[in-house]
Structure 1
């Protein structure tokens, strides 16, 4: 149910922010435009240049500084951007009036020059479209002096612009991005304080290899990406590389053939209330990929119906996911795909708080990392529950498991593995099931409606502890110690012969239960008994 609530939140808040309150007629009110030009909006500076499209309303054209003719409209838009660059040392804004702008070449953004449609209107009123055959990126910014920033020698920080309130549509197929923000000199040229808000990117990318895509941003500091939608790209939705302190909020990546989000080498990253559904039968595209990122924080995110993993976290130490949901991912169900896939070197200290893996085609969680923690998480109706591979220490507390296949598996554990599984819940109904030492702390929910359920205990090693609860008492729950181990009941009765066991079968009932703990090697102590337990 929670994934549905998150989805509704994304649609209601994020997409509501995209489409706004405009009528969809393509005609902004006089007060909207007047407020924008007068500087009464956060995006708009005192110096504003307006550009009208060929199909803009007549009165829009009459007040515009530049009017396009519907052919190579990038020429007029670029001229407006360069006019702000040359005429105002403090920067300004190019305001695109409602209409459709048809472009044949890339548009180069400039430092401290923002590009926006009318604030608070329906963004589909103002469309910038790169026509088929233009074979270029869409909006481009390169942080170097050759792009015109030399006109502002006093400006210490590149960037400092906003792109907002626009639909950007690319009909190109190739190594092209709809938005491409990059640095020409990776050693020195950083890009600062850029804002992308209420942007709807459609298309972009290369169908041959699913590279490139909607939006590429690298080497940016303090970038904010808010209320954006990336859709129908042949490659990535958002590719964010080597960024510091970026924030991504209320965004959605949909039906892209590459990964929905690929966050590469960023640090101190916040991603909140974002979602993704990407890939097709020919790709293993993931919803959200965090690669080589330190201290990332994801909150209230949703990965749904991605053909690869919902979340793929690789080499991203000390990152945390809170209240995140992975539903119906790993549609191309290969063995390593999962709702949450954690792997790679330098990937330690991951924490998942109150996350849900539901109905995924692979594992709920695939973990090949050290010191991973799952706290209060739920794994339900996945093909398999959780898989630990080549991993050492992990903590799994108060989690619930009820999946179609293997609930829990460990392959090639690291040296001296330690796993704390306290409160990890698993429902059992088979006539016989094995309780592993590696499942220490697990809570077993026994459904005895169809048959007796027989649990085979591991060797009694000091520190092992398990809890058993009965949900249906039609038949018996039987707990059998290993070899010559014994179980000491609370009343002092003890299983003293190999093959003896304890059972609630004398007066079995729903809500029967107990806890077994090994305090002395070879002996299970019986605690917190509910119902009547006997030695047989």
Structure 2
């Protein structure tokens, strides 16, 4: 370690003659201390307050942080690589800033991490990497355990020996919940672990509130090696509750498991994702057997069980099992969302049934409506375009389903006899086309529900209403265009329903 003395001596001389104010009198956060890497330029080293030697560089960085006044300030890292064989702990009201994620590199080994236990810390403009962890591994390379903190313009990666790359975790510091966390233009680049992870442990203060992700990316998380079999790109609620989450223009791609993920158990309130893209996730092989609700497989673009969510103009593409997955929806709203080619890259659909939009078990929630879908689209699903069962108070408006491959010959399955039928007090306006699925739309044992829309297909049974539990179902105004149906046929058929249970009107 080399501490540059010249600048300090000049400041001391000025202080004696009253020509500059004492550092502690500066405006909060205005003090700046520069740390140079061992491989930075000679000019950068000459101008720095601390110069690293390429070994245990965390010592110089920490000394610079500790030298900041109580009001805080900025530790500026020069271009170059900082080799840290230990941890760096920013203190409150400080900024750790590099020269860009392609110029400043922080490399952690020997269980070193960047641990943020203080509030009002900003990390920005560098690349971070952590490898070779041998101690307790359930932490993150960037490990945030307090609120009012921001990470901006940082790219990172890690090997499979640590639980998360960017990890926000409640451990009860200060006996309060974590609030006000910002990630902006942050990239998890091919880590062998979770890209972005939220969780809690050993505390009743487990709410993460006012969380913002903007223009962030999780790329190939766990794809080539993995901390565990369930690595996701963004996991916003592992063991923590989460409220007022805003995720805007974020991308999850090539992840081992789900792209955007929430666990079932935590409370999720006021969750909004806007203009996000989730593609090619679920790189893990399909299991031989699959239990819905178990931990055999997620494989979703967006996996969002039991909670209140809004999705605006979000896209799923080529995810292995689901585009959008909702179980126990408690007020879920989707506007202008699109799924392309769910199930792409897989061939055996005997266990996992790829589905663009999957909705199940709203009957055990109190929301009315439980789900609203407006102007959503499924294109070329390798399985189903839409699946909904054991649901009530679902409103699907102007849903377009194009050329689903079908599961067991069905492109959209409304009410699944194998799981438990039920499409109650709901409505579906569907505009379906394609010839790959022999039964484009099948409705089983719906009640007090209405179906509208249009069909363009040459299959023999494009729209079927079936099941002895069917009651008070209206099929209205569906226009079917077909080159094969007999003249005058509407393409709407019934099977096994009681007399008077279905009313078909104005269908052509």
- Please report the TM-score for the alignment, with normalisation by the length of structure 2: 0.72
**Deviation of residue 453 (structure 1)?**
6.5
- Alignment gaps of 5+ in structure 1: 1-38, 143-157, 183-190, 331-336, 486-517, 530-536
| Aligned residues of 1:46 and 1:92 also touching (Cα < 8 A) | yes
Alignment partner of 1:288 out of 257, 260, 265: 260
**Deviation of residue 173 (structure 1)?**
4.5
Q: Identify the residue that residue 105 of structure 1 maps to in structure 2.
A: 86
Alpha-carbon distance in 1 for matches of 2:495, 2:140: 65
Q: Identify the residue that residue 302 of structure 2 maps to in structure 1.
A: 311
Q: Identify the residue that residue 197 of structure 1 maps to in structure 2.
A: 152
Q: Which moved more, 1:468-477 or 1:90-99?
A: 468-477
Alpha-carbon distance in 1 for matches of 2:129, 2:94: 21
**Deviation of residue 375 (structure 1)?**
1.3
Q: Identify the residue that residue 427 of structure 1 maps to in structure 2.
A: 433
For the structure 1 residues 364 and 421, does the alpha-carbon distance in structure 2 shift closer, same or farther, using more than 3 Å as the test? same
Q: Identify the residue that residue 127 of structure 1 maps to in structure 2.
A: 105
| Aligned residues of 1:395 and 1:421 also touching (Cα < 8 A) | yes
**Deviation of residue 213 (structure 1)?**
2.0
Alignment partner of 2:235 out of 254, 262, 267: 262
For the structure 1 residues 474 and 365, does the alpha-carbon distance in structure 2 shift closer, same or farther, using more than 3 Å as the test? closer
Q: Identify the residue that residue 315 of structure 2 maps to in structure 1.
A: 325
Q: Identify the residue that residue 411 of structure 2 maps to in structure 1.
A: 407
| Aligned residues of 1:137 and 1:179 also touching (Cα < 8 A) | no
**Deviation of residue 171 (structure 1)?**
2.2
**Deviation of residue 389 (structure 1)?**
3.8
Alignment partner of 1:298 out of 270, 273, 279: 273
Alignment partner of 1:277 out of 253, 265, 290: 253
Alpha-carbon distance in 2 for matches of 1:433, 1:305: 25
For the structure 1 residues 400 and 54, does the alpha-carbon distance in structure 2 shift closer, same or farther, using more than 3 Å as the test? same
**Deviation of residue 94 (structure 1)?**
0.5
| Aligned residues of 2:476 and 2:504 also touching (Cα < 8 A) | no
CA root-mean-square deviation: 3.0
Alpha-carbon distance in 1 for matches of 2:337, 2:502: 37
What's the CA shift string for 1:345-379, capped at 9, x where partnerless? xx411111111111011111222242122211111
What's the CA shift string for 1:474-502, capped at 9, x where partnerless? 764523765999xxxxxxxxxxxxxxxxx
Alpha-carbon distance in 1 for matches of 2:424, 2:480: 31
Q: Identify the residue that residue 371 of structure 2 maps to in structure 1.
A: 372
Q: Is residue 2:225 matched to residue 1:225?
A: no
For the structure 1 residues 274 and 457, does the alpha-carbon distance in structure 2 shift closer, same or farther, using more than 3 Å as the test? closer
Alpha-carbon distance in 2 for matches of 1:221, 1:89: 22
For the structure 1 residues 457 and 279, does the alpha-carbon distance in structure 2 shift closer, same or farther, using more than 3 Å as the test? closer
For the structure 1 residues 81 and 522, does the alpha-carbon distance in structure 2 shift closer, same or farther, using more than 3 Å as the test? closer
| Aligned residues of 1:278 and 1:286 also touching (Cα < 8 A) | no
| Aligned residues of 1:137 and 1:177 also touching (Cα < 8 A) | no
Q: Which runs of 4+ in 1 moved over 3 A?
A: 412-416, 428-440, 451-463, 466-477, 479-485, 520-527
For the structure 1 residues 481 and 177, does the alpha-carbon distance in structure 2 shift closer, same or farther, using more than 3 Å as the test? closer
**Deviation of residue 521 (structure 1)?**
7.3
For the structure 1 residues 472 and 51, does the alpha-carbon distance in structure 2 shift closer, same or farther, using more than 3 Å as the test? same
**Deviation of residue 326 (structure 1)?**
0.8
Alpha-carbon distance in 2 for matches of 1:214, 1:276: 14
Q: Number of aligned pairs? A: 401
Q: Is residue 2:425 matched to residue 1:418?
A: yes
- Alignment gaps of 5+ in structure 2: 1-22, 170-176, 200-206, 223-230, 283-298, 344-353, 363-369
Alpha-carbon distance in 1 for matches of 2:441, 2:357: 21
**Deviation of residue 296 (structure 1)?**
0.4
**Deviation of residue 212 (structure 1)?**
0.8
Q: Identify the residue that residue 515 of structure 1 maps to in structure 2.
A: none
Alpha-carbon distance in 2 for matches of 1:391, 1:82: 57
Q: Identify the residue that residue 38 of structure 2 maps to in structure 1.
A: 54
| Aligned residues of 2:130 and 2:157 also touching (Cα < 8 A) | yes
Alpha-carbon distance in 1 for matches of 2:32, 2:496: 86
Q: Identify the residue that residue 116 of structure 1 maps to in structure 2.
A: 97
3-state DSSP class of the match of 1:340? Answer: strand
**Deviation of residue 82 (structure 1)?**
0.9
Tell me which structure has the larger Cα radius of gyration.
1
Alpha-carbon distance in 2 for matches of 1:348, 1:213: 29
**Deviation of residue 223 (structure 1)?**
1.3
Q: Identify the residue that residue 247 of structure 1 maps to in structure 2.
A: 212
| Aligned residues of 1:372 and 1:394 also touching (Cα < 8 A) | yes
| Aligned residues of 1:275 and 1:302 also touching (Cα < 8 A) | yes
| Aligned residues of 1:239 and 1:263 also touching (Cα < 8 A) | yes
Q: Identify the residue that residue 144 of structure 2 maps to in structure 1.
A: 181
Q: Which moved more, 1:413-422 or 1:459-468?
A: 459-468
Q: Is residue 2:501 matched to residue 1:526?
A: no
Alpha-carbon distance in 2 for matches of 1:232, 1:297: 26
Alignment partner of 1:163 out of 115, 123, 126: 123
**Deviation of residue 279 (structure 1)?**
3.2
- Please report the TM-score for the alignment, with normalisation by the length of structure 1: 0.68
Q: Identify the residue that residue 204 of structure 2 maps to in structure 1.
A: none
**Deviation of residue 454 (structure 1)?**
7.3
